[in-house]
A and B are shown apart, each in its own frame.
Chain A
Amino acid sequence: MLHMIDPAPDTPDRDHYTTIEVARMLGLAVRSVQLMVDRGELSAWKTAGGHRRISRAAVEQWRSGQNVTARAAPQPDPGEPALAATAARPTAAASVRKVLLIEDSVHFQNLVSLVVSQKFPQVQLSVANDGLAGLAMYGKVEPDVLIVDILLPGIDGATLITTLRSHPQFARSQLLVITSLDAAQREPYAFALQGVTVIHKPQLVSALPQALEQVLRQAQGVSAAP
């Protein structure tokens, strides 16, 4: 589940929207919205080219039927019947793991949320668009895992990592770095990347699940320690 704390920057003013627009408006993963459409929870149609189109009325209806806590409710797991989500929520909440992604590219926000919602249904993903918003959200979210892009507007990822490391409360979080930079381009940031798993973005789909699995386990170890 994707939990967007930053409000969507601009809500397009039209009678119908694309899946991605609705995902941003509702603060959900694109895949979740697609599944909601496929399950009939959001009424929609497909264009001749196969794109889903969702009416404004459907979006508003869905919004009005949800309270703030229910925003994270739609389970992206297609294997689970929708009604089970309601009944299972209180117990599921105990095992919810929190991941904060700091990434300015909407494309890679989408990709990470796709991978996370598919492979880690128990993870609640929050997204910050830049380093400053990321720092602000870090304290609010208290994530088990922080995923950071290196090239960010404002504070770059390496500086951000160094800043966070100087705070004692950061010890509870595990860190993953994602980047399109190749090994040579990462050289200037080496000071911050020592001992950190760095995922090259072209390999993100295959590399992220294993890396995230590992750091989630380590994070569990940290929080379970006396």
Chain B
Amino acid sequence: MQLHACGSVAQARAWLDAHGAPDLLLTDLMLPDETGLEFISALRAGADWQQTLPVLVMTAGVQPESMQQLASLNVCQVLIKPLAIDALRDAVRGALQARLSIPARTAVDTRFGGDTAMFETFRDAALAQFPVDSRQIDEALARADAGALERGAHSIKGVFALLREDVASEVARRLEWAARERRTDDATAIWAVLRVWLDWYVRSRGGETAQWAAPSLHLATS
């Protein structure tokens, strides 16, 4: 993880203008030029990513009415200084994970030992590789190469299992099985379904982009 420190709201604005969305904003409330509250309010009135950017507040003290305001601005957590390193680490980890979809959060916890960064690196690589996988499976089906089809489906099954997209993993398992038993017609039908899942995963960036609902398409046969 990379930390970029800014000493004022103006500096923070300049950085955001230059670099776009960070993964997390950690801010004090008492800053030299503007208050943290004003800064966060302005962000929430801004672009989409500014409205959803996870924000953590660190402050020496906060009035109850400011606390309410912070809550209404969708601040993840308010940490009171002086604070323990553990509390800060847990808050950062929690805020980073909160951005993720439920399967992704489950994957971070059950498959990646709580390492959000590793999960995201793996997922981003998977997003880039899925279109290649799809093409290879198309080709395997076209030349009736059951072995290549089985291995392709096997790989995707394992990836979706890691990402905790369990339904998609099950669809891939059925494709692997159909390929192993040389049931070509079944394999073709199941591939059509798995392909919808793959496309959905890529388009929704791992289920994070809400406008793409998860496929409701399931397999009728077992």
B13 CB to nearest A CB, Å? 18
Which partner residue on chain B sits nearest A207 by CB separation?
A: B113
Residue contact B151 to A34, C-beta cutoff 8 Å: no
Residue contact B111 to A51, C-beta cutoff 8 Å: no
Of the candidates A49, A105, A114, A202, the one whose C-beta lies within 8 Å of that of B121 is A114
Chain B residues in 8 Å Cβ range of A46: 19-21
Chain B count of residues within 8 A CB distance of the other chain: 31
- Complex: A20 Cα to B122 Cα, angstroms: 10
B58 within 8 A of A: no
Which partner residue on chain B sits nearest A52 by CB separation?
A: B124
- Complex: A110 Cα to B130 Cα, angstroms: 13
Of the candidates A20, A115, A118, A180, the one whose C-beta lies within 8 Å of that of B125 is A20
Interface of A: prevailing SS: helix
A151 touching B154 in the complex, CB below 8 Å, given contacts A20-B128, A31-B121: yes
- Complex: A203 Cα to B107 Cα, angstroms: 11
A129 CB to nearest B CB, Å? 11
B97 CB to nearest A CB, Å? 15
Chain B residues in 8 Å Cβ range of A108: 155, 158
- Residue interface bits B143-159, CB-to-A below 8 A is 1, else 0: 00001101100110111
A106 within 8 A of B: yes
B132 within 8 A of A: yes
Of the candidates A21, A48, A118, A151, the one whose C-beta lies within 8 Å of that of B128 is A21
Interface of B: prevailing SS: helix
B38 within 8 A of A: no
A-B CB pair tally, cutoff 8 Å: 83
A50 within 8 A of B: yes
- Residue interface bits A169-203, CB-to-B below 8 A is 1, else 0: 00000000000100000000000000000000111
- Complex: A203 Cα to B205 Cα, angstroms: 23
B214 CB to nearest A CB, Å? 18
B 68-120 contacts with A by CB, 8 A? 111-113, 115, 118
B2 within 8 A of A: yes
B175 within 8 A of A: no
A4 CB to nearest B CB, Å? 14
Residue contact A153 to B147, C-beta cutoff 8 Å: yes
- Complex: A18 Cα to B32 Cα, angstroms: 39
B171 within 8 A of A: no
- Complex: A66 Cα to B129 Cα, angstroms: 27
- Residue interface bits A16-54, CB-to-B below 8 A is 1, else 0: 001111010000001100100010000000101111000
- Complex: A201 Cα to B21 Cα, angstroms: 33
Chain A residues in 8 Å Cβ range of B159: 105, 107
Residue contact A114 to B122, C-beta cutoff 8 Å: yes
Residue contact B2 to A38, C-beta cutoff 8 Å: yes
- Mark A residues whose CB is within 8 Å of B: 18-21, 23, 30-31, 34, 38, 46, 48-51, 104-108, 110-111, 114-115, 118, 151-153, 180, 201-206
> Closest 6 interchain pairs by CB?
A105-B155, A180-B158, A20-B128, A110-B125, A107-B159, A20-B125
- Mark B residues whose CB is within 8 Å of A: 2, 19-21, 23, 49, 111-113, 115, 118, 121-122, 124-126, 128-129, 132, 147-148, 150-151, 154-155, 157-159, 161-162, 205
Q: Give 5 CB contacts A-B under 8 Å.
A: A31-B121, A48-B49, A108-B155, A114-B118, A205-B111
